[in-house]
Amino acid sequence: MKKIGLLLLSNILLFNIFTQGQETYPLDTLNTKDKYTKVVLFSDYTWTYLELDRPDIDMDALSDHWDTEAIHAFKDVEIASLPDTVNLTLVDATHPFVLPIKGSVYSRYGYRRKRPHRGVDIPLTTGDSVRAAFNGVVRVSEGSSKTGGYGNLVIVRHDNGLETYYGHLSKILVHENEPVRAGEVIGLGGSTGRSTGPHLHFETRYMGKAFDPERVVDWTNGCLRDTSLVIRKQYYNINSRYGQADRTVAQTSSSSSQSHATSSANSSTSGSPQYYTVRKGDTLGKIAGKYHTTVSKLCKLNKIKETTILQIGRKLRVR
Ligand SMILES: [Zn+2]
């Protein structure tokens, strides 16, 4: 029987010494049009296909508004027509997550110098590998000339409907309609487009509508916030940030004409624990004031000291 394995050519000579006259051995592997299928050539001039593990992608879910030319494929879909809440499974046994690039968010989702910033910026060094966050198919792979401020841009559609955007790349390594697995390098980081320095501009969108990517990714700890994601309609608002939205809902639910304040969003008024995500400039005193509690109560709840340095992004129990 033939041994199918990926041998480095430099090892073949050594291999040959041990197998001379006994067995054929792989000479080389060749790429095919399909990146998950290779051809292995053997020393006796025979060959065989080698099937690599394919990412688990449900292709049926990828047909809606599939447009490889338009950056925003859902322009005709009004936010009003979207459901109040969408529950997405982000990861399971066959759908992993990989951090696109390590680093901390230095520019968040929201208004920035009077312009909407619909993603997060993660600083990097030009040439750093940028990885697909989840399995998916590349919907857009486009150079700076066609993407405006995004620079070289890759958009991946995941089979739960979520799309992730990767902007300002110095080099794109995938083409449209190409399946990619979570963690696959889809491009190299850079500073193309409207950018003042090398960074990754990362967006998360559902049905074309952007929401704060920090609802999905915890960049401070380099992991997913949760295995699933509930997207509330108000998250598509540029002023709705991770760590503040549910509070906003609680405050505005009585005056808002929209009735999407759900029971879970209102739970802050009951006896269940409530959390706050530390932001730039926060102190225990400030947070305590905001929640009508005391610093010592906060310290007890979170088992920290008054002198503990609050890391941005840390979740503090406030009730
Ligand atoms: Zn950005």
pLDDT for 254 equals 36
Largest CA distance in the chain: 85
d(CA 275, CA 282): 14
- 3-state SS assignment for residue 63: coil
pLDDT at 129 over 90: yes
d(CA 126, CA 124): 6
What is the 151 CA–ligand 1 centroid distance (Å)? 11
pLDDT for 263 equals 33
For residue 95, what are the contacts with CB-CB under 8 A and spacing of at least 6? 56, 89, 134, 135, 159, 182
pLDDT for 309 equals 76
What is the 200 CA–ligand 1 centroid distance (Å)? 7
Architecture of domain 272-319: Roll (3.10)
pLDDT digits (tens, 9 = 90+) for 290-308: 776 777 888 888 888 777 7
pLDDT for 318 equals 81
* Band of pLDDT at residue 261, cut at 50, 70 and 90: very low
What is the 53 CA–ligand 1 centroid distance (Å)? 34
Task: Judge if 59-242 and 272-319 fold alike in CATH terms.
Answer: no
Segment 57-66 shows an average pLDDT of: 81
What mean pLDDT is reported for the chain? Answer: 83
pLDDT at 144 over 50: yes
Tokens of 119: 């993603």
What is the 175 CA–ligand 1 centroid distance (Å)? 22
What is the 99 CA–ligand 1 centroid distance (Å)? 17
- 3-state SS assignment for residue 118: coil
- Which range has the worst mean pLDDT, 113-122, 202-211, 270-279? 270-279
What is the 202 CA–ligand 1 centroid distance (Å)? 7
What is the 226 CA–ligand 1 centroid distance (Å)? 23
pLDDT at 150 over 90: yes
pLDDT digits (tens, 9 = 90+) for 183-215: 999 999 999 999 989 999 999 999 999 999 999
- Which range has the worst mean pLDDT, 114-128, 165-179, 263-277? 263-277
d(CA 180, CA 154): 12
Architecture of domain 59-242: Distorted Sandwich (2.70)
Q: How many CB atoms lie within 10 A of CB 80?
A: 7
Answer whether 131's CB lies under 8 Å from 183's CB: yes
* Band of pLDDT at residue 5, cut at 50, 70 and 90: very low
Segment 65-78 shows an average pLDDT of: 92
What is the 108 CA–ligand 1 centroid distance (Å)? 8
What is the 87 CA–ligand 1 centroid distance (Å)? 26
pLDDT for 268 equals 35
What is the 122 CA–ligand 1 centroid distance (Å)? 8
Higher-confidence residue: 33 or 226?
A: 226
What is the 209 CA–ligand 1 centroid distance (Å)? 16
**Token pair 């005193």: residue:** 285
Q: Where are the domains of the chain?
A: 9-51, 59-242, 272-319
What is the 149 CA–ligand 1 centroid distance (Å)? 9
